[in-house]
Chains A and B, each alone.
Chain A
Amino acid sequence: MANDPIHQFQIQKLFPIEVGGLDFSFTNSSLFMVATVAAASAFLIFATGGRGLVPSRMQSIAEMAYEFVAGMLRSSAGTEGMRFFPLVFSLFMFVLVANLFGMFPYFFTVTSHIIVTFVLAMIVILTVTVYGFMRHGTHFLHLFVPSGVPAALIPIVAPIEVISFLSRPVSLSVRLFANMLAGHITLKVFAGFVVSLSAMGGLGVAGAILPLGMTVALTALEFLVAFLQAYVFTVLTCMYLNDALHPSH
């Protein structure tokens, strides 16, 4: 039971709530969503509380996060894209903090559930679609007809573009979910080897050194993945938003 690598993804109800037959219970997942939001907001607000001209360390980190996301958005969607900055920044901070929270032992990883990453991806795709149609009207459909393609090829290219557009929320959500899930399972499996091998006596303890080393290395890798996946999610968000702003490639 303790070594079950799937156990860490269990949803446990903390306060059962049921409305109209649907289960809206406050679960451990909800708790960590609240914790993620609270920690990220508190950090950004308290770190910038001094409004120092010369930033303190904490303020410097908050500013770096801001400029990092702003740089991504500006380089892929231009200055016009800055209207989406609060959304992109919220997504980046939420995913990053949720991923990093998952690195604490016994903490629940919010982003290891497909439904969470899918909802986040849908927020992006719906924003792109709704804004794209609002701003460009039917001209937004030019997104599916790349410029410079011969007329004869359009019947072939357009469906491919449509499928690629529709697969975006799937790829965006599955990438984040699968990375977090697989990383945590691997980590748990190797850590489980350490426990079960060292229970086997002297030779087992010696044999446990290798998986222990792997666990340490994987932990470092997972920290990298936690950041990298937040980054990738945000970069792709920026690129999709660019499509909403400039549909004709």
Chain B
Amino acid sequence: MASQTHSNTEGTTETIEVQHGEAHSAGFPPFDSSTFASQILWLAITFGLFYWIMKNVAVPRIAGILEDRKDRIAGDMAEANRLKQDTDAAIAAYEQALAEARNKAHGIASETRAKLKAETEARRSKAEADVAAKLSAAESQIAALKSGAMDKIEEIATDTTSALVEQLLGTAPTATDVSKAVKTALN
């Protein structure tokens, strides 16, 4: 039919074919090789441009952002670790100081206790010694008084005896006899 039309009028055929071509083109569009050149060219232009933008702008930028973040996080972690170590050291120092203070306090307390104890002890022994001295002095005085009194008793007894004997017998006995007799009687 096409050849028939062709033989008749060339102009009509062309318009029909153009209309036909625009409506359905030649067969299945993805396999229409007449469009390949244009698609390849425009893909090369657009994809080439896209690759250039990605390589020179987008990728370095995102990589930079991610790198910065990684560095920042690593830095912050290191800082946190350092602060933690500082804290640990401070705690250790505090605990050491506390232990030292406690030991010191303990030492002062026991020292004071020992000192006070020694003082008390000294005072007590001094007082005891005083008391003992006073006691022995009093005892010796008592003993002296006692022996003095015994002597006087003997003397009185002798005198009384010699006076009695003289009254009874009329003659005074010798002093030796009297004292001998009194001594015998007293003991």
Interface residues of A (CB under 8 A from B): 1, 6, 9-11, 17, 22-27, 29-30, 33-34, 36-37, 40-41, 44-45, 48, 51-53, 55, 59, 62-63, 66-67, 85-87, 89-90, 93-94, 110, 112-116, 119-120, 123, 177, 181
Indicate if the CB atoms of A27 and B58 lie closer than 8 Å. no
| Residue among B38, B41, B50, B63 making CB contact with A37, cutoff 8 Å | B50
- Stretch in B29-37, B118-126, B149-157 touching the partner: B29-37
Q: Which residues of A contact B44 (CB under 8 A)?
A: 119
Indicate if the CB atoms of B62 and A85 lie closer than 8 Å. no
Indicate if the CB atoms of A24 and B38 lie closer than 8 Å. yes
Q: Which residues of A contact B141 (CB under 8 A)?
A: none
Tell which of A51, A86, A120 has the most Cβ of chain B within 10 Å: A86
Q: Which residue of A lies closest to B63 (CB)?
A: A66
Instruction: List which B26-73 residues lie within 8 A (CB) of chain A.
Output: 28-32, 34-44, 46-47, 49-51, 53-55, 57-59, 61-66, 68-69, 72
Indicate if the CB atoms of A40 and B30 lie closer than 8 Å. no
Indicate if the CB atoms of A24 and B41 lie closer than 8 Å. yes
**What are 18 contact pairs spanning A and B, CB under 8 A?**
A23-B34, A26-B42, A27-B35, A29-B38, A29-B39, A30-B42, A34-B42, A37-B53, A41-B50, A41-B57, A51-B64, A51-B68, A53-B72, A86-B51, A89-B59, A93-B54, A114-B31, A115-B40
Indicate if the CB atoms of B35 and A119 lie closer than 8 Å. no
Indicate if the CB atoms of A66 and B62 lie closer than 8 Å. yes
Tell which of A27, A37, A67 has the most Cβ of chain B within 10 Å: A37
Q: Which residues of B contact A40 (CB under 8 A)?
A: 50
Main secondary structure of the interface of A (DSSP, over half): helix
With A24-B42, A114-B30 given, name 10 new contacts (CB 8 A). Answer: A23-B38, A24-B37, A26-B42, A30-B39, A37-B47, A41-B53, A90-B51, A114-B31, A116-B43, A120-B43
Indicate if the CB atoms of B50 and A9 lie closer than 8 Å. no
Q: What is the interface residue range for chain B against chain A?
A: 35 or more
B85 lies within 8 A of chain A by Cβ: no
Indicate if the CB atoms of B66 and A45 lie closer than 8 Å. no
The complex places the Cα of A44 from the Cα of B62 at a distance, in Å, of 9
Q: Which residue of B lies closest to A85 (CB)?
A: B59
B25 lies within 8 A of chain A by Cβ: yes
| Residue among A93, A116, A177 making CB contact with B39, cutoff 8 Å | A116
Indicate if the CB atoms of A90 and B54 lie closer than 8 Å. yes
Interface residues of B (CB under 8 A from A): 23, 25, 28-32, 34-44, 46-47, 49-51, 53-55, 57-59, 61-66, 68-69, 72
Indicate if the CB atoms of A11 and B35 lie closer than 8 Å. yes
Q: Which residues of A contact B39 (CB under 8 A)?
A: 11, 27, 29-30, 113, 115-116, 119
Using A6-B28, A6-B29, A29-B42 as known contacts, say yes or no to A45 and B47 having CB atoms under 8 A apart: no
| Residue among B25, B40, B62, B64 making CB contact with A62, cutoff 8 Å | B62
Q: Which residue of A lies closest to B65 (CB)?
A: A51
The complex places the Cα of A29 from the Cα of B23 at a distance, in Å, of 17
Q: Which residues of A contact B36 (CB under 8 A)?
A: 115
Indicate if the CB atoms of A59 and B59 lie closer than 8 Å. no
Q: Which residue of A lies closest to B62 (CB)?
A: A66
Q: Which residues of B contact A17 (CB under 8 A)?
A: 38
Indicate if the CB atoms of B46 and A37 lie closer than 8 Å. yes
Indicate if the CB atoms of B50 and A45 lie closer than 8 Å. no
The complex places the Cα of A87 from the Cα of B54 at a distance, in Å, of 8
Q: Which residues of B contact A34 (CB under 8 A)?
A: 42, 46
Indicate if the CB atoms of B55 and A86 lie closer than 8 Å. yes
Indicate if the CB atoms of A23 and B31 lie closer than 8 Å. no
Indicate if the CB atoms of A113 and B47 lie closer than 8 Å. no
The complex places the Cα of A196 from the Cα of B35 at a distance, in Å, of 32
Q: Which residue of B lies closest to A112 (CB)?
A: B30
Indicate if the CB atoms of A27 and B42 lie closer than 8 Å. yes
B90 to chain A, nearest CB (A): 31
